[in-house]
Amino acid sequence: MVGVELAYWAESLLRVLGGLVAVLLPAGTVVYLFLFKMMSFMQSRLGPMEAGPYGSLQLFAEVGKWLQKEDIVPTNAQPEARIFKIAPLVVLASTFLLVAVVPFGPDAWFTDFDGGIFYALAVSSVSVLGILIAGWSSANKYSLLGGLRAAGQLIAYELPMVLAVIGVVIQAGTMNLQKIVVAQNAGEIFGWDGLGNPFLLTQFVGFLIFMIAVQAELTQTPFDMPIAESELVSGYMTEYSGFRFLIFFIGEFATAGVFSMIASVLFLGGWGVPFAWFGWTAIDDVDNWMNVVGPLILFTKMIIVVFFVMWVRFSYPRFREDQLQRFAWKVLIPISLANIMVTAVLKVAF
Protein backbone atom coordinates (compact mmCIF):
# COMPACT_ATOMS: atom_id res chain seq x y z
CA MET A 1 0.00 0.00 0.00
CA VAL A 2 2.81 2.42 0.78
CA GLY A 3 4.17 3.69 -2.50
CA VAL A 4 7.66 4.32 -1.15
CA GLU A 5 10.43 1.95 -2.20
CA LEU A 6 13.55 2.04 -0.06
CA ALA A 7 16.95 0.47 -0.49
CA TYR A 8 17.63 -2.41 1.87
CA TRP A 9 20.12 -0.39 3.93
CA ALA A 10 17.72 2.53 4.23
CA GLU A 11 14.93 0.25 5.31
CA SER A 12 17.16 -1.44 7.87
CA LEU A 13 18.31 1.92 9.22
CA LEU A 14 14.69 3.03 9.53
CA ARG A 15 13.85 -0.15 11.39
CA VAL A 16 16.73 0.29 13.83
CA LEU A 17 15.84 3.92 14.47
CA GLY A 18 12.18 3.01 14.77
CA GLY A 19 13.06 0.27 17.24
CA LEU A 20 15.08 2.70 19.34
CA VAL A 21 12.20 5.17 19.35
CA ALA A 22 9.67 2.44 20.11
CA VAL A 23 11.71 1.33 23.13
CA LEU A 24 13.10 4.60 24.48
CA LEU A 25 10.10 6.84 23.98
CA PRO A 26 7.71 4.71 26.05
CA ALA A 27 10.43 4.24 28.67
CA GLY A 28 10.98 7.99 28.96
CA THR A 29 7.28 8.74 28.99
CA VAL A 30 6.58 6.09 31.59
CA VAL A 31 9.38 7.27 33.86
CA TYR A 32 8.55 10.97 33.60
CA LEU A 33 4.79 10.81 33.54
CA PHE A 34 4.26 8.05 36.05
CA LEU A 35 7.38 7.44 38.09
CA PHE A 36 8.23 11.12 38.54
CA LYS A 37 4.90 12.90 38.39
CA MET A 38 2.07 10.52 39.16
CA MET A 39 3.85 8.89 42.08
CA SER A 40 4.72 12.31 43.50
CA PHE A 41 1.18 13.59 43.15
CA MET A 42 -0.17 10.45 44.79
CA GLN A 43 2.12 11.25 47.72
CA SER A 44 1.03 14.90 47.79
CA ARG A 45 4.25 16.34 46.43
CA LEU A 46 5.24 17.77 43.09
CA GLY A 47 8.23 15.67 42.03
CA PRO A 48 11.10 17.13 40.02
CA MET A 49 10.40 20.76 39.16
CA GLU A 50 13.78 22.34 38.47
CA ALA A 51 15.14 20.84 35.23
CA GLY A 52 13.03 22.38 32.48
CA PRO A 53 9.38 23.36 32.81
CA TYR A 54 7.77 21.12 35.43
CA GLY A 55 10.95 19.06 35.53
CA SER A 56 10.44 17.77 32.00
CA LEU A 57 14.19 17.63 31.33
CA GLN A 58 14.86 15.71 34.54
CA LEU A 59 15.34 12.52 32.53
CA PHE A 60 18.31 13.99 30.68
CA ALA A 61 19.77 15.08 33.99
CA GLU A 62 19.35 11.57 35.38
CA VAL A 63 20.83 9.90 32.33
CA GLY A 64 23.74 12.34 32.36
CA LYS A 65 24.32 11.62 36.02
CA TRP A 66 24.41 7.87 35.47
CA LEU A 67 26.69 8.14 32.47
CA GLN A 68 29.21 10.09 34.53
CA LYS A 69 29.43 7.45 37.22
CA GLU A 70 32.15 4.87 37.40
CA ASP A 71 31.42 1.44 36.00
CA ILE A 72 32.37 -0.66 39.00
CA VAL A 73 32.92 -4.42 38.95
CA PRO A 74 33.15 -5.75 42.52
CA THR A 75 36.37 -7.58 43.42
CA ASN A 76 34.54 -10.84 44.04
CA ALA A 77 32.87 -10.57 40.66
CA GLN A 78 36.14 -10.08 38.82
CA PRO A 79 36.46 -13.75 37.71
CA GLU A 80 33.15 -13.42 35.86
CA ALA A 81 33.52 -9.77 34.98
CA ARG A 82 32.48 -10.33 31.39
CA ILE A 83 29.27 -12.09 32.38
CA PHE A 84 28.65 -9.47 35.04
CA LYS A 85 28.96 -6.76 32.42
CA ILE A 86 26.82 -8.45 29.80
CA ALA A 87 23.83 -9.17 32.08
CA PRO A 88 22.03 -5.79 31.77
CA LEU A 89 22.45 -5.94 28.01
CA VAL A 90 20.67 -9.30 27.92
CA VAL A 91 17.76 -7.77 29.82
CA LEU A 92 17.55 -4.80 27.47
CA ALA A 93 17.93 -7.04 24.42
CA SER A 94 14.80 -8.95 25.39
CA THR A 95 12.91 -5.64 25.37
CA PHE A 96 14.14 -4.88 21.85
CA LEU A 97 13.22 -8.39 20.72
CA LEU A 98 9.79 -7.90 22.24
CA VAL A 99 9.02 -4.63 20.48
CA ALA A 100 9.82 -6.23 17.12
CA VAL A 101 6.43 -7.91 16.84
CA VAL A 102 4.24 -5.04 18.04
CA PRO A 103 2.22 -3.68 15.12
CA PHE A 104 1.95 0.12 15.08
CA GLY A 105 -0.15 0.54 11.97
CA PRO A 106 -1.38 -1.29 8.88
CA ASP A 107 2.12 -1.09 7.39
CA ALA A 108 4.05 0.25 10.35
CA TRP A 109 5.51 -2.87 11.83
CA PHE A 110 8.98 -4.30 12.27
CA THR A 111 8.08 -7.92 11.62
CA ASP A 112 4.74 -9.46 10.84
CA PHE A 113 4.55 -13.20 11.09
CA ASP A 114 2.08 -15.80 12.20
CA GLY A 115 3.82 -16.81 15.40
CA GLY A 116 3.71 -13.24 16.72
CA ILE A 117 2.33 -13.58 20.22
CA PHE A 118 4.06 -16.91 20.74
CA TYR A 119 7.37 -15.25 19.86
CA ALA A 120 6.62 -12.28 22.14
CA LEU A 121 5.90 -14.46 25.14
CA ALA A 122 8.99 -16.53 24.40
CA VAL A 123 11.48 -13.67 24.12
CA SER A 124 10.04 -11.90 27.14
CA SER A 125 11.48 -14.78 29.18
CA VAL A 126 14.98 -14.05 27.93
CA SER A 127 15.17 -11.26 30.50
CA VAL A 128 15.04 -13.95 33.21
CA LEU A 129 18.40 -15.17 31.93
CA GLY A 130 19.85 -11.69 32.20
CA ILE A 131 18.51 -11.27 35.70
CA LEU A 132 19.75 -14.70 36.80
CA ILE A 133 23.27 -14.16 35.51
CA ALA A 134 23.27 -10.66 37.00
CA GLY A 135 22.33 -12.11 40.37
CA TRP A 136 24.80 -14.96 40.13
CA SER A 137 27.82 -13.11 38.77
CA SER A 138 27.54 -10.27 41.29
CA ALA A 139 29.01 -12.62 43.93
CA ASN A 140 26.72 -11.05 46.50
CA LYS A 141 24.16 -12.84 48.64
CA TYR A 142 21.55 -10.13 48.15
CA SER A 143 22.00 -10.22 44.40
CA LEU A 144 21.82 -13.99 44.34
CA LEU A 145 18.64 -14.10 46.40
CA GLY A 146 17.15 -11.36 44.25
CA GLY A 147 18.05 -13.22 41.08
CA LEU A 148 16.57 -16.47 42.38
CA ARG A 149 13.39 -14.74 43.48
CA ALA A 150 13.14 -13.06 40.10
CA ALA A 151 13.56 -16.38 38.31
CA GLY A 152 10.93 -18.09 40.46
CA GLN A 153 8.54 -15.22 40.05
CA LEU A 154 8.96 -14.72 36.31
CA ILE A 155 8.57 -18.43 35.61
CA ALA A 156 5.51 -18.66 37.85
CA TYR A 157 3.78 -15.72 36.20
CA GLU A 158 4.82 -16.58 32.66
CA LEU A 159 2.27 -19.40 32.82
CA PRO A 160 -0.90 -17.44 33.67
CA MET A 161 0.18 -14.87 31.10
CA VAL A 162 0.46 -17.44 28.35
CA LEU A 163 -2.81 -19.06 29.42
CA ALA A 164 -4.58 -15.70 29.47
CA VAL A 165 -3.35 -14.98 25.97
CA ILE A 166 -4.65 -18.33 24.74
CA GLY A 167 -8.18 -17.06 25.27
CA VAL A 168 -7.49 -14.19 22.89
CA VAL A 169 -5.82 -16.49 20.40
CA ILE A 170 -8.81 -18.83 20.42
CA GLN A 171 -11.20 -15.98 19.87
CA ALA A 172 -9.15 -14.30 17.16
CA GLY A 173 -8.24 -17.59 15.53
CA THR A 174 -4.67 -16.45 14.96
CA MET A 175 -1.44 -15.81 16.80
CA ASN A 176 -0.44 -13.01 14.43
CA LEU A 177 -0.66 -9.76 16.37
CA GLN A 178 -1.59 -7.79 13.25
CA LYS A 179 -4.48 -10.15 12.55
CA ILE A 180 -5.56 -9.97 16.21
CA VAL A 181 -5.83 -6.17 15.81
CA VAL A 182 -7.84 -6.59 12.62
CA ALA A 183 -10.07 -9.23 14.22
CA GLN A 184 -10.96 -6.80 17.01
CA ASN A 185 -11.55 -3.74 14.86
CA ALA A 186 -13.40 -5.52 12.07
CA GLY A 187 -15.46 -7.47 14.61
CA GLU A 188 -18.94 -6.70 15.77
CA ILE A 189 -20.93 -7.17 18.95
CA PHE A 190 -24.17 -9.00 18.10
CA GLY A 191 -24.32 -7.28 14.72
CA TRP A 192 -23.40 -3.80 16.04
CA ASP A 193 -20.01 -2.73 14.77
CA GLY A 194 -19.73 0.81 16.17
CA LEU A 195 -17.07 -0.24 18.65
CA GLY A 196 -15.54 -3.13 16.80
CA ASN A 197 -15.14 -6.02 19.20
CA PRO A 198 -12.26 -5.28 21.57
CA PHE A 199 -11.36 -8.48 23.37
CA LEU A 200 -11.41 -6.50 26.60
CA LEU A 201 -15.18 -7.09 26.66
CA THR A 202 -15.25 -10.79 25.88
CA GLN A 203 -11.95 -11.69 27.51
CA PHE A 204 -12.23 -9.49 30.58
CA VAL A 205 -11.08 -12.27 32.89
CA GLY A 206 -8.17 -12.91 30.57
CA PHE A 207 -7.33 -9.21 30.58
CA LEU A 208 -7.28 -9.09 34.39
CA ILE A 209 -5.07 -12.17 34.60
CA PHE A 210 -2.80 -10.81 31.88
CA MET A 211 -2.41 -7.47 33.66
CA ILE A 212 -1.69 -9.13 37.01
CA ALA A 213 0.88 -11.35 35.33
CA VAL A 214 2.39 -8.32 33.57
CA GLN A 215 2.66 -6.59 36.91
CA ALA A 216 4.62 -9.57 38.18
CA GLU A 217 6.71 -9.92 35.01
CA LEU A 218 7.71 -6.28 35.31
CA THR A 219 8.55 -6.83 39.00
CA GLN A 220 6.48 -3.81 39.93
CA THR A 221 5.11 -3.54 43.45
CA PRO A 222 3.12 -5.57 44.85
CA PHE A 223 5.32 -8.15 43.10
CA ASP A 224 8.72 -6.51 43.57
CA MET A 225 10.32 -9.16 45.78
CA PRO A 226 13.33 -9.51 43.44
CA ILE A 227 14.45 -5.97 44.19
CA ALA A 228 12.73 -5.62 47.56
CA GLU A 229 14.82 -2.75 48.81
CA SER A 230 13.94 -3.22 52.46
CA GLU A 231 15.11 -6.85 52.41
CA LEU A 232 17.60 -7.26 49.58
CA VAL A 233 19.13 -3.78 49.17
CA SER A 234 18.30 -3.74 45.47
CA GLY A 235 18.25 -7.43 44.58
CA TYR A 236 20.09 -8.39 41.44
CA MET A 237 20.87 -4.71 40.72
CA THR A 238 22.73 -4.20 43.99
CA GLU A 239 26.25 -4.33 42.57
CA TYR A 240 25.57 -2.38 39.41
CA SER A 241 26.50 1.23 38.97
CA GLY A 242 26.71 3.83 36.26
CA PHE A 243 25.38 3.06 32.83
CA ARG A 244 24.83 -0.63 33.52
CA PHE A 245 22.36 0.31 36.24
CA LEU A 246 20.88 2.77 33.77
CA ILE A 247 20.38 -0.05 31.28
CA PHE A 248 18.58 -2.15 33.90
CA PHE A 249 16.45 0.88 34.66
CA ILE A 250 15.62 1.60 31.01
CA GLY A 251 14.97 -2.11 30.49
CA GLU A 252 12.48 -2.19 33.35
CA PHE A 253 10.41 0.74 32.17
CA ALA A 254 10.78 0.10 28.45
CA THR A 255 9.46 -3.40 29.10
CA ALA A 256 6.58 -1.85 31.04
CA GLY A 257 5.79 0.24 27.99
CA VAL A 258 6.16 -2.62 25.51
CA PHE A 259 4.09 -5.04 27.60
CA SER A 260 1.39 -2.39 27.85
CA MET A 261 1.50 -2.05 24.07
CA ILE A 262 1.07 -5.81 23.75
CA ALA A 263 -1.80 -5.68 26.24
CA SER A 264 -3.49 -2.96 24.21
CA VAL A 265 -2.89 -4.92 21.01
CA LEU A 266 -4.39 -8.07 22.52
CA PHE A 267 -7.31 -6.59 24.40
CA LEU A 268 -7.93 -2.96 23.41
CA GLY A 269 -7.77 -3.08 19.63
CA GLY A 270 -4.15 -1.99 19.20
CA TRP A 271 -3.47 0.71 16.66
CA GLY A 272 -6.85 0.47 15.01
CA VAL A 273 -10.08 2.36 15.20
CA PRO A 274 -13.28 0.37 14.63
CA PHE A 275 -13.16 -0.24 10.88
CA ALA A 276 -16.89 0.44 10.51
CA TRP A 277 -16.29 4.15 11.21
CA PHE A 278 -14.61 4.58 7.84
CA GLY A 279 -16.30 1.76 5.99
CA TRP A 280 -13.26 -0.54 5.94
CA THR A 281 -13.78 -4.25 6.15
CA ALA A 282 -10.30 -5.75 5.96
CA ILE A 283 -6.75 -4.62 6.50
CA ASP A 284 -6.27 -3.88 2.80
CA ASP A 285 -8.97 -1.19 2.93
CA VAL A 286 -7.28 0.74 5.70
CA ASP A 287 -6.10 4.13 4.51
CA ASN A 288 -2.46 5.11 4.54
CA TRP A 289 -2.91 7.83 7.12
CA MET A 290 -3.48 5.14 9.72
CA ASN A 291 0.29 4.52 9.55
CA VAL A 292 0.72 7.92 11.22
CA VAL A 293 -2.35 7.96 13.43
CA GLY A 294 -2.08 4.29 14.39
CA PRO A 295 1.11 4.65 16.44
CA LEU A 296 -0.43 7.62 18.25
CA ILE A 297 -3.54 5.60 19.07
CA LEU A 298 -1.43 2.69 20.27
CA PHE A 299 0.70 5.07 22.33
CA THR A 300 -2.39 6.58 23.96
CA LYS A 301 -3.73 3.15 24.80
CA MET A 302 -0.31 2.20 26.18
CA ILE A 303 -0.36 5.27 28.45
CA ILE A 304 -3.76 4.27 29.78
CA VAL A 305 -2.65 0.70 30.46
CA VAL A 306 0.59 1.83 32.11
CA PHE A 307 -1.48 4.19 34.24
CA PHE A 308 -3.23 1.21 35.77
CA VAL A 309 0.02 -0.73 36.21
CA MET A 310 1.61 2.21 37.98
CA TRP A 311 -1.51 3.04 39.95
CA VAL A 312 -1.48 -0.43 41.41
CA ARG A 313 2.27 -0.18 41.92
CA PHE A 314 2.01 2.99 43.98
CA SER A 315 -0.96 1.81 46.03
CA TYR A 316 -0.22 -1.68 47.25
CA PRO A 317 2.37 -3.03 49.66
CA ARG A 318 4.63 -5.91 48.70
CA PHE A 319 3.50 -9.54 48.84
CA ARG A 320 5.47 -12.16 50.69
CA GLU A 321 7.36 -14.64 48.56
CA ASP A 322 5.08 -17.57 49.48
CA GLN A 323 1.94 -15.50 48.94
CA LEU A 324 3.23 -14.61 45.50
CA GLN A 325 3.78 -18.22 44.49
CA ARG A 326 0.51 -19.39 46.00
CA PHE A 327 -1.38 -16.64 44.16
CA ALA A 328 0.11 -17.63 40.83
CA TRP A 329 -0.30 -21.41 41.11
CA LYS A 330 -3.50 -21.69 43.13
CA VAL A 331 -5.52 -18.73 41.87
CA LEU A 332 -4.36 -17.35 38.54
CA ILE A 333 -3.55 -20.57 36.72
CA PRO A 334 -6.83 -22.37 37.58
CA ILE A 335 -8.86 -19.30 36.64
CA SER A 336 -7.04 -18.90 33.36
CA LEU A 337 -7.51 -22.61 32.57
CA ALA A 338 -11.23 -22.22 33.24
CA ASN A 339 -11.19 -19.12 31.05
CA ILE A 340 -9.68 -21.10 28.19
CA MET A 341 -12.31 -23.82 28.49
CA VAL A 342 -15.21 -21.36 28.59
CA THR A 343 -13.78 -19.43 25.64
CA ALA A 344 -13.31 -22.60 23.64
CA VAL A 345 -16.84 -23.82 24.36
CA LEU A 346 -18.36 -20.45 23.44
CA LYS A 347 -16.20 -20.25 20.33
CA VAL A 348 -17.56 -23.58 19.14
CA ALA A 349 -21.11 -22.71 20.19
CA PHE A 350 -21.26 -19.42 18.28
Contacts with another protein by CB under 8 A lie at 38, 40-46, 49, 311-312, 314-316
Find the helix packing angle between 204-217 and 290-315, rounded to 10°.
70
Report the distance separating Cα 314 and Cα 39, nearest Å.
Answer: 6
Looking at the Cβ atoms of 38 and 163, the one nearer to another protein is 38
Q: Is the peptide bond before 26 cis (omega within 30 degrees of 0)?
A: no
Q: Which residues of 204-238 are buried (b: 16+ CB within 10 A; e: fewer)?
A: ebbbbbbbbbbbbbbbbbbbbbbbbeeebbbbbbb
Looking at the Cβ atoms of 281 and 315, the one nearer to another protein is 315
In the complex, minimum distance from the CB of residue 49 to another protein, in angstroms, rounded to a whole number = 6
Angle at 309 between CA 341 and CA 205, to 5 degrees: 15
In the complex, minimum distance from the CB of residue 47 to another protein, in angstroms, rounded to a whole number = 9
CA 294 to mean position of chain CA atoms:
18
Report the distance separating Cα 319 and Cα 221, nearest Å.
Answer: 8
Amino acid, res. 94:
S
In the complex, minimum distance from the CB of residue 29 to another protein, in angstroms, rounded to a whole number = 17
Looking at the Cβ atoms of 53 and 279, the one nearer to another protein is 53
Looking at the Cβ atoms of 331 and 342, the one nearer to another protein is 331
Report the distance separating Cα 226 and Cα 240, nearest Å.
Answer: 15
For residues 221 and 316, the answer to whether their CB atoms sit within 8 Å is: yes
In the complex, minimum distance from the CB of residue 220 to another protein, in angstroms, rounded to a whole number = 14
In the complex, minimum distance from the CB of residue 46 to another protein, in angstroms, rounded to a whole number = 5
In the complex, minimum distance from the CB of residue 75 to another protein, in angstroms, rounded to a whole number = 32
Looking at the Cβ atoms of 54 and 113, the one nearer to another protein is 54
Report the distance separating Cα 77 and Cα 65, nearest Å.
Answer: 24
* Rg of the chain, C-alpha, whole Å: 21
In the complex, minimum distance from the CB of residue 44 to another protein, in angstroms, rounded to a whole number = 4
139: left (phi over 0), alpha (psi -120 to 50) or beta: left
